[in-house]
Amino acid sequence: MISEDAYRVITIVKKELIQLARDPKTIAMVLMMPIMVTILFGIGYGGEGSGKYPITIVDLDGREGSFKFIEELRDSRLFEIKAIYKSKGQGFSSVYSGTVYACLIIPESFTEDLMVGRATRVELYYDASNPTVAQAIMQAVGVVTQQYQEWAASNFGTFAIQPMFYTVYGPKVEKIESFIPTLMALILQMVPTSLISVSICREREKGTFEQFIMTPIRPFDVIFGKLVAYFIATISDSILSLLTAILIFNVKLRGSLIDMTVVSLVFLLSSLSMGLLISVFSKNQLQAYQASIFTFIPSMLFSGMLVPVEILGPEAGTIASFIPMYYFIKAFRNVALKGWSFLMVTNELIIILAFSAVFLSFSLRSLKMEVT
């Protein structure tokens, strides 16, 4: 015999399963989400990827010793040498601009020092805005230098080469400072997108959407009215997060608060626009929540939040190019940690705004002012 309590629980279970069965969109999302996440994770992280850190080299020596060292760097399969320059200015510029993570400088007397067994050095100037990548590059240079030194010692006798490490701007970036771009990306996508994604669905479930239909309100009015309302409601997220990090954790950011706020607000607009699109296509709040979570997963995997996209491989780079968070993290890192102004990251901001325009355009075209 089934107890009365158990019978009530079974009744509720049946009701919920029947309700889900009547909602094919929700079932499809529940079943497809783990499959799609696994596929995306496999594309980005399951293969070998490039596994190489992009760097440039300034070869001031231009002789046999430096050629051999550059060959050793290539053979290590740890670096992708983007260019070999003859002036330090070109090398520094490649790191400042964000084209590469580091620049290795081989001094003028490198081969001569090698021939006579005199101690010498190589200098690595690196981008400290991503400490994890910077540390990995320094370790890799140390390994290659040791291997080269062993070769030189066997051919020319006792020889010492010392790798020297320098940042291209300001003092060393602390771990908590380097995490700020990731923190801001999380806050400015998850919170606004999840909030606004249920707005139209909630109106439909409560029956208040019918009131819109009975008035001369257009889809444009609904979309932009909600966009502005939630923009005002969530605009404080970015400012409060930055102030909390600065005042409580003594985070020292190199960019101005105004520049960081401008970049944050542009990304906030994109997140809200994407949330509105989700809300328009979702039948109920459950679907909206699921969709907002689903859109966040590829953003987390392919925005550079976990691992730099450049070392994941070309497929990951292609996916990243369709993710607004990828451009935001790149822009915000340059502003906050390198001290750039928002005018220096206009390319990224324009792309984010283009995403917003596309999301809003689809929302306007898809919103039907009728009861479904």
> Model confidence over 10-59: pLDDT tens digits?
776 776 667 666 667 666 666 666 676 677 666 666 555 556 889 999 99
Cα atoms in the Cβ-side hemisphere of radius 13 Å centred on 85: 17
| pLDDT recorded at residue 60 | 94
Query: What is the per-residue pLDDT for 15?
Result: 66
Q: Taking 70 as the threshold, does the pLDDT of residue 165 lie above it?
A: yes
The residue from 114, 141, 167 where one domain ends is: 167
Domain interval for residue 113: 53-167
Q: Which residue type occupies 155? A: N
Q: If you average pLDDT over residues 126-148, what whole number do you get?
A: 86
Mean pLDDT, residues 331-337 taken together: 90
pLDDT score for 349: 97
Please state the domain count of the chain.
2
**Which of 167, 195, 217 corresponds to the end of one domain?**
167
Contact 36, 294 (CB under 8 A): yes
DSSP codes, 270-282: HHHHHHHHHHHH-
Q: Is residue 22 part of a domain?
A: no
pTM confidence score: 0.78
> 147 and 187 share a domain?
no
The terminus-to-terminus CA distance of the chain in angstroms comes to: 43
Statement: residue 158 has pLDDT above 60: no
Residue pLDDT, tens place only, 270-302: 999 999 999 888 877 878 888 888 888 889 888
Determine the average pLDDT of the residues in 348-359. 97
Residues 154 and 201 in one domain: no
Q: Residue 90 CB: number of other CB atoms within 10 A?
A: 14
